């Protein structure tokens, strides 16, 4: 059973990682990061259960705090950019491309 | 449940001195923010308050160092239930981090002045970034390493987007943020898989588990380790995970780029070395070839791509990729190369901050102009700046009698002794290529006709470049004391 | 056990569906709702794994706070900013295609060989009591073994607060001046 949980987490992580590579909308890319962090949490809880250790669940909280802090900063940056140029697409931010 | 039951929590061994530098930096950041709200002091005062916090943290690090060496008053070297390690590795990491923070604050003086009402936040974020990467360096637990990495990285995302007047600052911020948080997610998935594979978050625990048990199916551990390495090599801008660095270094405000680049590299390498050397020495046969490949690719890609750049910031970013590769060759020898890695990191970090301080002085604090042609004839317009920049560049290039040479020689001889001869040969060739790249900048500064007027360099920048020149030359001729100090920077 | 299997299949499929929606949807609102679906299904899975407190926090923090913030920002910058997903760079598509092939190949290898042990350190069947994530059990460990990491989150939240102010404050000041 544990293997199935871990496989589900791996699938979610992979989908999130693919999303970052194919999507150009900053908001959606950021959601994909959140998806990856959720997959990490599922891995931690499932592995902790199989190991008979609560530490997996404890670690989940720290991943969660990090996710929350990232959301605050990430959305602040996205809003700042949108106010500045009316776009949330990373492709249109191309002044620096070299 | 009664109250008596509820309060029966076993407190871990607390070592206040063990976390004192981070504590001082965190409290300093909070104080800077509060003082700004209450008394509205001048921006110079705010910057000095930040500097005072860095100096206090450095003094406490010295005290802690003395205690660790003598063992006085230390009941355990793994306090807080093994969350952090009190060892020479963490102490030296703090010295380097705090030196970079101090120089970074000096170099960012003018930007702090022009940050207006946001000056306090800027100083506070620089202190917090230092505290975060410092936690990462002393951490003996993979989750705390992740937390430290994130405290530092998130501060840097904000600093990258600090100047709003210019368009590419927020572009740099969003690129740095998206790719950085992607790398962090990869890193923490690695932590989760290592936990699944070994049942431990503690670095010591992972090491003991791998030492004591023959794992027949180590697939998940190797996968986790690979993700940890990818996540951290991204943070230290090693190829092929470097693509964000040139854009971010070019777009971020000039005043803090040096600080951002240097401190993230120190933190990333501290985490990487501790994880590879302390937690996974038993899997060295598996990770060494991968690290060797990353090092070789970084050295070649960084050196070659740096040559074709026409922008000094992108040039320094690509040369940073090459330097990440050089430092990684030191990791190949396992625990043997720690001293040389730290020597290299210390020298390079100081040079990096100083180099970007020069860039900031030439292009103006928040100016986007950083084309190489702006440096034509700098020697006539700004003799002092040009001379110090030239010495720093020669040091980065690693010619003899500079500290850069000693550093390169150290990591290469370690890698050679560890049997990675081909990486060393690639490295030597790459450093020859890289040397021409630094020479090109120097030639532009000294041989070309002056182009336009340059603003006078602020006093802070002069100090930073002077310190870097002294460090480059002094430790180039007498590397003994610093090598000695770095030699004691061993992980527990 | 069978109840757990049923919950896993139902919620696992919902989570996967939500995740695919996040990546495929052209409108960010649908992406957000897909993410919400994934998070809620994971919360149910956590309950069936006895991680009660994690499940509660998952709903409160992720589904409550984080997703609200996301939807707020989506609404703020406009829901009609639908994105053409076909516009992307061919190079990137190629990379993703290769990666996807590698991942699928890896999964097939796992399925065929059956040799991949996800949790090699585990011994036998999980002990339910040891991982019963009640508030008390979590709290005791959080404030003993993990207390330093807990304190470190204070730094993280300071960074988030100071950073958000730094990124947003400037604009307000200029708006007043104009």
For the cut 60, the answer to whether the pLDDT of residue A26 exceeds it is: yes
Contact criterion met (CB < 8 Å) for C160 and A34:
no
Q: Two tokens at B285?
A: 């046969």
SS (HEC) of chain A: CHHHHHHHHHHHHHHHHHHHHHCCEHHHHHHHHHHHHHHHHHHHHHHHHHHCCCHHHHHHHHHHHHHHHHHHHHHHHHHHHHHHHCCCEHHHCCCCCC
Cβ neighbours of residue B373 closer than 8 Å, sequence gap 6 or more = B310, B444, B451
Taking the Cβ of residue B175 and every Cβ of chain A, the question of whether any pair is shorter than 8 Å is answered with: yes
Pick the residue from chain A with its C-alpha nearest to C31.
Answer: A28
Contact criterion met (CB < 8 Å) for A49 and C50:
yes
| Weakest mean pLDDT among B39-53, B209-223, C85-99, C144-158 | C85-99
* Residue in B298, B267, B276, B240 with CA at minimum distance from that of residue B153: B267
Q: Hey, of A9, A27, A53, which one would you mutate to test binding to chain C, going by the most C CBs within 10 A of its CB?
A: A27
Taking the Cβ of residue B157 and every Cβ of chain A, the question of whether any pair is shorter than 8 Å is answered with: yes
| Weakest mean pLDDT among A3-17, B104-118, B125-139, B183-197 | B104-118
For the cut 80, the answer to whether the pLDDT of residue B75 exceeds it is: no
Contact list in A for residue B246 (CB cut-off 8 A) is 96, 98
Contact list in A for residue B243 (CB cut-off 8 A) is none
* Amino acid C165: pLDDT: 87
Number of neighbours of residue B72 by Cβ within 10 angstroms: 8
Give per-residue pLDDT as tens, B97-125: 999 999 999 988 888 877 777 888 899 99
* Mean pLDDT computed over every residue of chain B: 87
SS3 assignment, position C84: coil
* Amino acid C84: pLDDT: 46
Residue-range domains of chain A with CATH: 2-88 (1.10.287.3510)
For the cut 70, the answer to whether the pLDDT of residue A30 exceeds it is: yes
- Determine the distance in angstroms separating the CA of C117 from the nearest CA of chain A, rounded to an integer: 8
Angle between helices B219-235 and B254-273 (to 10 degrees): 160
Domain spans of chain B? 14-487
Out of A1, A76, A78, whose CB is closest to C163? A76
Please identify among residues 15-74 of chain A the ones whose CB lies closer than 8 Å to any CB of chain B.
Answer: 16-17, 20, 26, 29-30, 33, 36-37, 39-40, 43-44, 46-48, 50-51, 53, 55-56, 59, 62-63, 66, 69-70, 73-74
| Residue A89, beta-bridge partner list | A25
Local confidence band at C178 (pLDDT 50, 70, 90 cut-offs): very low
Taking the Cβ of residue A94 and every Cβ of chain C, the question of whether any pair is shorter than 8 Å is answered with: no
* Amino acid B283: pLDDT: 86
Out of B116, B124, B144, whose CB is closest to C149? B144
* Amino acid C170: pLDDT: 55
* Amino acid A67: pLDDT: 93
* Residue in B29, B15, B267 with CA at minimum distance from that of residue B136: B267
* Residue in A97, B42, B61, B147 with CA at minimum distance from that of residue C89: A97
| Weakest mean pLDDT among B81-95, B163-177, B323-337, B435-449 | B163-177
Contact criterion met (CB < 8 Å) for C122 and A51:
yes
Cβ neighbours of residue B170 closer than 8 Å, sequence gap 6 or more = A77, A80, A81, A84, B161, B164
| Weakest mean pLDDT among B146-160, B379-393, C2-16, C93-107 | C93-107
Contact criterion met (CB below 8 Å) for B14 and B79: yes
Out of C136, C140, C155, whose CB is closest to B132? C155
Contact criterion met (CB < 8 Å) for A59 and B195:
yes
Instruction: State mean pLDDT over B63-91.
Output: 86
For the cut 80, the answer to whether the pLDDT of residue A87 exceeds it is: no
Instruction: State mean pLDDT over A9-32.
Output: 88
- Determine the distance in angstroms separating the CA of C176 from the nearest CA of chain A, rounded to an integer: 15
């Amino acid at each position: 059973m544990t293997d199935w949980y871990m496989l589900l987490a791996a699938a979610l992580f992979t989908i999130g990682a693919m999303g970052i590579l194919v999507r150009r909308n900053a908001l959606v890319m950021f959601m994909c990061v959140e998806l990856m962090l959720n997959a990490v949490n599922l891995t931690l809880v499932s592995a902790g259960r199989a190991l008979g250790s609560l530490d997996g669940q404890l670690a989940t909280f720290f991943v969660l705090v990090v996710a929350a802090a990232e959301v605050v900063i990430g959305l602040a940056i996205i809003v700042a950019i949108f106010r500045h140029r009316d776009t949330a697409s990373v492709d249109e931010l191309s002044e620096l491309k070299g | 449940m009664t109250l008596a039951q509820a309060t029966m929590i076993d407190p871990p061994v607390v070592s206040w001195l063990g976390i004192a530098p981070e504590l001082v930096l965190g409290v300093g950041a909070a104080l800077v923010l509060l003082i700004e709200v209450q008394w509205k002091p001048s921006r110079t005062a705010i910057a000095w308050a930040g500097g005072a916090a860095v100096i206090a943290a450095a003094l406490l690090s010295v005290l802690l160092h003395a205690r660790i060496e003598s063992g006085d008053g230390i009941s355990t070297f793994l306090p807080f239930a093994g969350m952090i390690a009190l060892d020479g590795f963490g102490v030296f990491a703090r010295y380097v981090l705090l030196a970079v923070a101090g120089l970074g604050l000096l170099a960012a003086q003018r930007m702090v002045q022009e940050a207006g009402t946001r000056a306090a936040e800027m100083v506070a974020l620089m202190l917090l970034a230092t505290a975060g990467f410092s936690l990462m360096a002393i951490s003996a637990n993979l989750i705390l390493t992740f937390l430290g990495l994130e405290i530092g990285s998130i501060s840097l995302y904000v600093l990258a987007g600090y100047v709003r007047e210019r368009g590419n600052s927020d572009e740099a911020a969003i690129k740095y943020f998206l790719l950085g948080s992607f790398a962090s997610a990869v890193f923490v998935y690695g932590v989760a898989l290592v936990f699944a594979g070994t049942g431990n978050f503690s670095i010591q625990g992972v090491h003991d588990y791998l030492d004591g048990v023959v794992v027949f199916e180590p697939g998940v551990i190797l996968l986790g380790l690979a993700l940890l390495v990818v996540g951290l090599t991204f943070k230290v801008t090693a190829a092929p995970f470097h693509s964000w660095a040139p854009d971010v270094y070019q777009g971020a405000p000039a005043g803090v780029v040096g600080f951002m680049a240097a401190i993230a590299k120190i933190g990333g390498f501290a985490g990487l070395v501790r994880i590879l050397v302390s937690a996974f020495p038993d899997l060295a046969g598996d990770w060494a070839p991968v690290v060797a490949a990353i090092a070789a690719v970084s050295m070649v890609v960084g050196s070659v791509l740096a040559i074709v750049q026409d922008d000094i910031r992108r040039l320094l970013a690509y040369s940073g990729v090459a330097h990440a590769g050089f430092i990684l060759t030191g990791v190949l020898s396992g625990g043997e190369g720690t001293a040389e890695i730290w020597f290299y990191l210390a020298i390079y970090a100081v040079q990096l901050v100083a180099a970007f301080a020069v860039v900031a002085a030439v292009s103006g604090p928040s100016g986007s102009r950083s084309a190489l042609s702006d440096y034509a004839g700098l020697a006539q317009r700004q003799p002092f700046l040009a001379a110090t920049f030239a010495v720093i560049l020669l040091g980065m290039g690693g010619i003899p009698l500079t500290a850069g040479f000693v550093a390169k020689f150290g990591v290469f001889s370690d890698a050679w002794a560890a049997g990675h001869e081909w990486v060393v040969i690639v490295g030597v060739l790459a450093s020859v290529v890289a040397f021409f790249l630094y020479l090109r900048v120097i030639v532009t500064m000294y041989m070309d006709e002056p182009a336009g007027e340059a603003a006078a360099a602020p006093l802070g920048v002069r100090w930073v470049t002077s310190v870097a020149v002294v460090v480059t030359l002094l430790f180039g001729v007498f590397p003994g004391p610093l090598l000695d100090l770095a030699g004691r920077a061993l992980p527990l | 056990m069978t109840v757990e299997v049923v919950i896993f299949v139902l919620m696992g499929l919902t989570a996967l569906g939500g995740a695919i929606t996040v990546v495929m949807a052209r409108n960010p609102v649908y992406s957000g709702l897909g993410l919400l679906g994934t998070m809620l299904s994971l919360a149910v899975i956590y309950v069936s794994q006895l991680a009660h407190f994690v499940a509660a926090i998952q709903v409160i923090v992720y589904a409550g706070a984080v997703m609200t913030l996301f939807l707020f920002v989506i609404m703020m910058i406009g829901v009609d900013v639908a994105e053409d997903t076909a516009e992307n760079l061919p190079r990137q598509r190629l990379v993703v295609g290769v990666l996807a092939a590698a991942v699928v190949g890896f999964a097939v290898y796992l399925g065929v060989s059956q040799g991949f042990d996800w949790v090699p350190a585990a011994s036998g069947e999980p002990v339910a009591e040891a991982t019963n994530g009640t508030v008390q059990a979590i709290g005791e460990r959080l404030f003993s073994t993990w207390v330093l990491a807990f304190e470190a989150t204070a730094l993280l939240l300071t960074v988030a607060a100071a950073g958000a102010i730094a990124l947003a404050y400037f604009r307000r000041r200029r708006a007043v001046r104009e």
